[in-house]
Amino acid sequence: MEDSILPDGSAVNAAPFLPMSRAEMQDLGWSACDVILVTGDAYVDHPSFGMAIIGRLLEAQGLRVGIISQPDWKNLTDFKQLGKPRLFFGVTAGNMDSMVNRYTADRKIRSDDAYTPGGQGGKRPDRSVLVYANRCREAFKGVPVIIGGIEASLRRIAHYDYWSDRVRRSALLDAKADLLIYGNAERQVTAIARQLKKGQKFSDLRGIRGTALVHTPDEDMVLSAEDPQIPVPARANKILRLPSFEAVSQDKLLYAHASRILHQETNPGNARALVQRHGSVDVLLYPPPLPLTTKEMDFVYELPYARRPHPAYAERRIPAFEMIQHSLTIQRGCFGGCTFCSITEHEGRIIQNRSEDSIIKEIKMIRDTSETFSGFISDLGGPTANMYRLACRSREIESACRKPSCVYPDVCENLKTDHSALIELYRKARALPGIKRVHIASGVRYDLAIKDPAYVRELASHHVGGYLKIAPEHTEEGPLSKMMKPGMAAYDRFKELFDRYSTEAGKEQYLIPYFIAAHPGTRDEDMVELALWLKGNGFRADQVQTFLPSPMATATAMYHSGKNPLRRVTEESEEVHIPRGLKIRRLHKAFLRYHDPDNWPILRDALRRLGRDDLIGPGKLIPAHQPRNWQPKEKSREKPGEKTGHQSRRQKPAARAGSFLTRHTGLPPSQQRRKKVTRRK
């Protein structure tokens, strides 16, 4: 068992904010920092921001920690502003992958950034981890650099990069970093801090779970899995060699094979170390970190955060903070295993829970200290709203399991689905004096919820503000099987329960379903059926989500290779239909917005090509002619690559779907705003 992250000494006097300037260091009586953290986000001292957690955790270990936030990467001035750190630089792109943060699924530049003061875009470079790490090295040669966060975590081995349409090396090598931390980093940074405080050399840091490093190749220490025809070695073997960077960059079959092996080695109870050759060196990944205990989770979220943005930002609002300032994270991890999502690979599939007392304590703190609090808690959630305290019935089974999902194709018989602990938490939270309403903004896993109708009753009766978002993602088995999503039977059952309990509570409430266009496995015919379902159920999509192949996701391996790594990968393996190219992706997106006249011309062409002329005409999916006096929307005057979007004509006030989990980040759902809202007629 790894050492606890709980401090082993007396309490440390916490700084009001971790310093961002020399003047602040002087006010604290510091001549130098032990650790300097560089982040692509604005510095918000709140436990919803990863850099605040890591900074406060290192502070609790007795280290002096400074923050360099959103530095100008075009020169070294900002990287030198706090001086030379005594131990190391810690570098992250921020709460979001910098490429996902800046570009849409169509590779267009977004015009804003929720993690920047004023929501201003363009304040961080592409592939921020690489740029920041190399600037740190230039600023102070010889100072060790550690990279981490969602961007580094999902690029820890050779990975397909959607934006350059090629396989790139491990970020560890391109950043020229001394160490890469993947996943949630509390155990890793605590172990590193303790070893360095004892005088151990940075170069001697070895064997820390959840880290990756470069080492000299030693062919005798590892087993080979270069050939996908070779069976996976026995579990007794502790280290497994993946196909090399050179191999996976040239052979898509080997890329899919490597992806399959990587995803099989994510359970901390049985995962092996992985090695991947890059040229003349190896990248060595130690097994994932062990999940935090409830006591450790409470400690992390009860560190002395200021719970607001750094004063340097003055009156400039930070949209991401405004979205989450009155929400709470109650758990981490997700055992859903959706192939387009990387949460499991980052946070793990074993749910890590806070105690009820810790959560209630934080609600009271928000109530008593926030100047903007008006009685409404915006979310009690995590990557999924309703996985709190759900776990395997057996620790032994859990430690041995290698399934990618606990809920697909069906909910595992060994999974506890009793939501009573969550129901009790909801009741205690809303009963607190001064609390008017507790909303649930995180996405509800409806196939779990229907296993416990009492939870659906509690949710519909007390915690929905008119609309509840859920994510069936598609209606057809082809794409659903590649997403590992449950399908519409579970959705229909959940809707039945939700409608019944909403009516019993005397409330008019609606479900807001979300769908993905152009996911691997989706054919044009599938989008026709989805469009018919939307029209038949009276839904009109305002903005829609197109599949974005994020690094390390299983669906990304499908997109790149055309194979299905959910099964053993060989030349004869299942071929996956890939909607590739801007034209087909726009068509699939248009089916989700079947009601927009701008989309009717391309939809008519597609329907005729598919032999579905019966869907064109009065009362059909789309009319046979454009509206009288119709003019196509003027093309964007923005430069190529800038954000564009189509807004549907409102027939009634907009249904506010709330925020949700962007699947390529490590944030709880309440900390992201989904780029798609569905309106009901």
Per-residue pLDDT reduced to its tens digit, 543-601: 789 999 999 999 999 999 999 999 887 777 789 999 999 999 999 999 999 999 999 99
449 contacts 482 by C-beta, under 8 angstroms: no
37 contacts 87 by C-beta, under 8 angstroms: no
Tokens matching residue 295: 């006591």
Report whether the peptide linkage leading into residue 288 is cis, meaning its omega lies within 30 degrees of zero. Answer: no
Average pLDDT, the chain: 89
Residue 496 and residue 509: Cα distance in Å, rounded? 12
Average pLDDT estimate for 166-181: 98
What pLDDT sits at residue 635? 55
Residue 9 has what DSSP assignment?
S
Pick the more confident residue, 327 or 1: 327
User: What residue ranges define each of the domains in the chain, with the CATH number in brackets?
Assistant: 1-210 (3.40.50.280), 212-287 (no CATH), 326-593+648-680 (3.80.30.20)
Banded model confidence at residue 252, pLDDT cuts 50, 70, 90: very high
Average pLDDT estimate for 500-520: 96
Q: How many CA atoms lie within 13 A of 150 on its CB side?
A: 28
- Phi/psi at 517 (nearest 5 deg)? -95, 150
Tokens matching residue 634: 């003027």
Contacting residues for 662 by C-beta, under 8 A, at least 6 apart:
96, 100, 672, 673, 674, 675
Average pLDDT estimate for 513-534: 97
Helix (H) / strand (E) containing 408: none
Tokens matching residue 284: 């060595």
DSSP for 468-490, written as a single string: EEEEEE-SSHHHHHHHT---HHH
What pLDDT sits at residue 634? 63
β-pairing, 44-45 with 308-309? antiparallel
Q: What percentage of the chain has pLDDT greater than the value 90? A: 82
What pLDDT sits at residue 345? 84
Average pLDDT estimate for 230-246: 70
Contacting residues for 279 by C-beta, under 8 A, at least 6 apart:
245, 246
What pLDDT sits at residue 232? 40
Buried b (16+ CB within 10 A) or exposed e, 130-147: bbbbbbbbebbeebbbbb
**SS3 labels along 588-622:** HHHHHCCCCHHHHHHHHHHHHHCCCHHHECCCCCE
DSSP for 360-396, written as a single string: HHHHHHHHHH-TT--SEE-EEESSSTT-TT--BS-HH
Encoded amino acid at 188, one letter:
Q
Average pLDDT estimate for 146-171: 97
Banded model confidence at residue 253, pLDDT cuts 50, 70, 90: very high
> What would the pLDDT profile of 398-456 be if each residue is shown by its tens digit?
999 999 999 999 999 999 999 999 999 999 999 999 999 999 999 999 999 999 999 99
- Phi/psi at 27 (nearest 5 deg)? -60, -30
Encoded amino acid at 585, one letter:
R
Tokens matching residue 556: 């990304």
183 contacts 342 by C-beta, under 8 angstroms: no
- Phi/psi at 141 (nearest 5 deg)? -65, 140
449 contacts 494 by C-beta, under 8 angstroms: yes
**CB atoms closer than 10 angstroms to residue 644:** 14
293 contacts 305 by C-beta, under 8 angstroms: no
Tokens matching residue 28: 């604290």
Can you point out the beta strands (E) in 153-279?
A: 159-161, 166-168, 179-181, 211-215, 223-224, 239-241, 273-278
Q: Is a pLDDT exceeding 90 seen at residue 664?
A: no
Tokens matching residue 508: 């008019």
Residue 452 and residue 303: Cα distance in Å, rounded? 34
What pLDDT sits at residue 218? 59
Judging by beta carbons within 10 Å of its beta carbon (0-12, 13-18, 19+), is residue 453 exposed, middle or buried? middle
> What would the pLDDT profile of 207-218 be if each residue is shown by its tens digit?
999 999 998 775
Average pLDDT estimate for 494-508: 97
Of 199-203, 431-435, 634-638, which range is least confident?
A: 634-638
What does the angle CA 635 – CA 639 – CA 645 come to, to the nearest 5 degrees? 50
What pLDDT sits at residue 670? 39
Pick the more confident residue, 573 or 27: 27
**CB atoms closer than 10 angstroms to residue 583:** 9
Contacting residues for 346 by C-beta, under 8 A, at least 6 apart:
150, 153, 154, 182, 183, 184, 666
Helix (H) / strand (E) containing 633: none
What pLDDT sits at residue 401? 95
Q: Is a pLDDT exceeding 80 seen at residue 222?
A: no
What pLDDT sits at residue 665? 34
- Phi/psi at 514 (nearest 5 deg)? -110, 145
Q: Is a pLDDT exceeding 50 seen at residue 522?
A: yes
Q: What percentage of the chain has pLDDT greater than the value 70? A: 89
What pLDDT sits at residue 8? 78
Name which of 248, 214, 194 is nearest 9 in CA terms.
194
